[in-house]
Amino acid sequence: MAPMTYDAIVVGSGISGGWAAKELTEHGLKTIVLEAGRPIDPAVDYVEHVRPWEKRYRGMRNRKQLERYQPVQRHTGACDEYASKFFVNDLDNPYSTPDGKPFYWIRGRQVGGRSIMWGRCVYRWSDLDFEANAREGVGVDWPLRYKDLAPWWSYVEKFVGIQGRKEGLAHLPDGEFMPPWELNAAEARGREILLQKFGGERLITNARLAVITENHLGRQKCHLCGTCYRGCITLSYFSSINATLPAARKTGNLTLRPFSVVHSVIYDPQTRKATGVRVVDGNTKEMFDVNAKVVFLCASALESTRILLNSATAEFPNGLGNTSGELGHNLMDHIMDGGAVGTLPFARDKREVGRRPDAIYVPRFRNVKTKQKDFLRGYGFEGRAFRQGWERGSEMSGFGAQFKRSLIGDLGPWQMDFGGFGEMLPRHENHIEIDRNLVDAWGIPALRINCAYSENEKKMQEDMVVTAVEMLEAMGATDIKPYKEDNPPGLVIHETGTARMGRDPKTSVLNGHNQVWDVPNVFVTDGACMASTANQNPSITYMALTARAVSYAVGQMKRREL
């Protein structure tokens, strides 16, 4: 068939693709969004209010089906009996890893991508993060500083709708916040105690969340059902489906094409630009081309890089835009599963009404003012104080009428959980490449992922356990249970890097505006672009970078530089 022609192509409709679509269409560009997966209809697909008794295994997961079709995806908690449909079928979407070096690649292929199931935590970076690579001689220097991105964070935050508490921390800058949910009685008491005992260095603050507490741009404030990862019929948390794609549609400039698996970027050696992309129809498996003046790759970090690796030409034998040799390299995730949980001695006479999806955050305190001997960078804690209610019954001793009454009428003591999320350093040897012996269900060459945590991350994880226990002890907690799990990278689902930004085309794939050095009308604005990960949850940064890159691209197009 004859190629379809648009002003702009966006590959992927997740967090980054949704923003690219909104910004490009609002700038008047006729834009096609190519989404590999199926369409999502909130009225049918959102399942946040489905109760356990409506599911065959009461929410205990369809274990055998997961083992068979989603042996990788099942490792993440959200891939459960309600929401497993939002995660890929691993049989259709294979990848390989070396023996003994697993990587859990958790993916969502549908309109909205992983913005449907994301964790909704949004934290800005500071120059402590942007300058770290240069200061320590790790990886390459970011071509950005806080002042470059701050206005774009503000821009996206105002649209996203974010609740948060201003703390005035230099290393975790405040954003554009709407009022947060209050801390519960136990968290509030914990905050007071930590302020006293750690002089503000270890701080319990309200989680900063892309979940609105006031009606916002046609979306209703959160009704606190507590299970955001399954969808939200009131559109209260931010996702592409709930916010950016409807905004893009309103312009009249959007074409959204589901079941469009992008194979590669088409490069014209005469003009040294991309002419468009090659697509495999997800249903018919027919191949077709889409042409455009500019291409935004927002397919998720590893998928965007996979497309570039699969776009090799005579001029770029190792992948399009890979003059530097860094394409596919410097893969990162975060490190988690270090922390502790304990029983708090206070607030037994208080309960909560409403179920917050997320509760508290402890901003990074390592390598901020003082220097750690055994690791670089730092970590923050996500957590909450909670009462188990009836769920404590399986571990509580007793049985019979009194046991039953207690499970129905009491809630158990407050427990506090601190779970660390730490930075992973960029390392050249952590890389992805095309596996020449493996294709996906659409015949597209698949990835081989080579990635492992280093000693720096492992030391950091050990420290998470120590400091979480210290905070619980400071609160007078009893029955403190430290935990540390040795999970493969990928499981935090913050995979980033593989097409890093930089200041020098010899050592980076993208310039400071997410533009491929070698092919100026191709932009990569998802997690692939990251030169480091900091310890903050990354999505809001992808959003800001995407909006900034679109603004830059549109300026270049107006000046006829693209």
**Interacting residues toward other proteins by CB under 8 A:** 49, 51-53, 56-60, 63-64, 181-185, 187-188, 213, 223-225, 348-356, 390-391, 393-394, 397-411
DSSP 486-521: -PPTTTTS--B-SS-B-S-TTT-SB-TTSBBSSSTT
Q: How far is the CB of 54 from other proteins (least distance, A)?
A: 8
Nearer to other proteins, 88 or 185 (CB): 185
What are the structure tokens assigned to 127, written together?
Answer: 């120059």
Q: Give the span between the Cα atoms of 9 and 263, in whole angstroms.
A: 14
Q: Give the span between the Cα atoms of 462 and 289, in whole angstroms.
A: 50
Q: How far is the CB of 68 from other proteins (least distance, A)?
A: 13
Nearer to other proteins, 197 or 223 (CB): 223
| CA dist list (Å): 545 to 26, 229, 552 | 17, 24, 10
Nearer to other proteins, 359 or 534 (CB): 359
Q: Give the span between the Cα atoms of 250 and 254, in whole angstroms.
A: 8
Nearer to other proteins, 394 or 437 (CB): 394
Q: How far is the CB of 4 from other proteins (least distance, A)?
A: 43
Q: Across the beta sheet with 379-387, what order do the strands follow?
A: 205-206, 360-362, 379-387, 414-422, 338-343, 478-484
**Number of other residues whose CB lies within 10 A of the CB of residue 417:** 20
Nearer to other proteins, 126 or 213 (CB): 213
Q: How far is the CB of 213 from other proteins (least distance, A)?
A: 8
Nearer to other proteins, 272 or 404 (CB): 404
Pairing between β-strand 205-206 and β-strand 445-450 as defined by DSSP bridges: unpaired
Q: How far is the CB of 56 from other proteins (least distance, A)?
A: 8
What SS3 class is residue 555?
helix
Q: How far is the CB of 162 from other proteins (least distance, A)?
A: 16
User: 519 near 321, Cβ under 8 Å?
Assistant: yes
Nearer to other proteins, 230 or 329 (CB): 230
What SS3 class is residue 88?
coil
Q: How far is the CB of 397 from other proteins (least distance, A)?
A: 6
**Number of other residues whose CB lies within 10 A of the CB of residue 34:** 24
Q: How far is the CB of 163 from other proteins (least distance, A)?
A: 10
Nearer to other proteins, 150 or 188 (CB): 188
Nearer to other proteins, 4 or 224 (CB): 224
**Number of other residues whose CB lies within 10 A of the CB of residue 92:** 12
Q: Give the span between the Cα atoms of 343 and 412, in whole angstroms.
A: 10
Q: How far is the CB of 233 from other proteins (least distance, A)?
A: 10
Closest CA to 383 of 187, 199, 534, 179: 187
